[in-house]
Amino acid sequence: MTHYEVLGVAPDVSEDELRRAYLRLARRYHPDRHVDADPAAAADADARMRRINEAWEVLGSPSTRAGYDRSLRAPGAATPGAPASAPTIRPPSSEFRPYFEHDEDDDDSWRYEPDEGDPATAPPRLLLVAPPMLLGMSVFLLVAGLTLDAPGVVAAALIGALFSLLLFVGAPVVVLFRSRSAEERAARRR
């Protein structure tokens, strides 16, 4: 069935008449008009509307319409309206399973094991505790110095906050260098 037959017009129809035919059929078979219809009638109207839209997509533009008309006149042309090289869709084999409960190639045991750190690269406990403790002490001294109007205590609080900031930044750097040196020692032992 050609696109012209789907729209119910002759191949030499004018663009205006073609548009009117499309709009008339679209109003008649649009799925919104068949909401209350029985499922079979609604499905039929939906399928018909899809064919109407496909026909309009080809015939609605003068350039695609001209190409379509040439394909209709070509000897041995494929079925009008069908793409020249339609893809072949094959169902998956019966052996295909998208998910297995357990696959012998799948080793997920590492996900459920606890992470173990290398004791040689672990930072000293003091390096972990010192920055937050120093920051807490600095905040306490700052509040106390501002409350008591003691500039020396405020200065000590600011110096403590500066050292705390340096430790917050410096602790990860120390850990990185320790882990690098531990990896180098391990590589030399091999």
Domain range annotation of the chain: 3-73, 125-189
Report helix, strand or coil for 141. helix
pLDDT over 80 at 58, yes or no: yes
CATH of 3-73, one of 1.20.1250.20, 3.90.920.10, 1.10.10.60, 1.10.287.110: 1.10.287.110
Q: Let me know if 55 is exposed, middle or buried by CB neighbors in 10 A (0-12, 13-18, 19+).
A: buried
Choice between 183 and 119, residue whose per-residue pLDDT is larger: 183
Contact status, residue 46 vs residue 52, Cβ threshold 8 Å: no
Per-residue confidence (pLDDT) for residue 157, from 0 to 100? 95
- 84-131 pLDDT, tens digit per residue, is 545 566 777 777 666 656 556 666 676 777 777 777 777 788 888 999
| Helix pair angle (62-73, 39-59), 10° resolution | 100
pTM: 0.40
Separation between Cα atoms, residue 134 and residue 169, nearest integer Å: 13
Per-residue confidence (pLDDT) for residue 118, from 0 to 100? 72
pLDDT over 60 at 37, yes or no: yes
Place of tokens 């799925």: 31
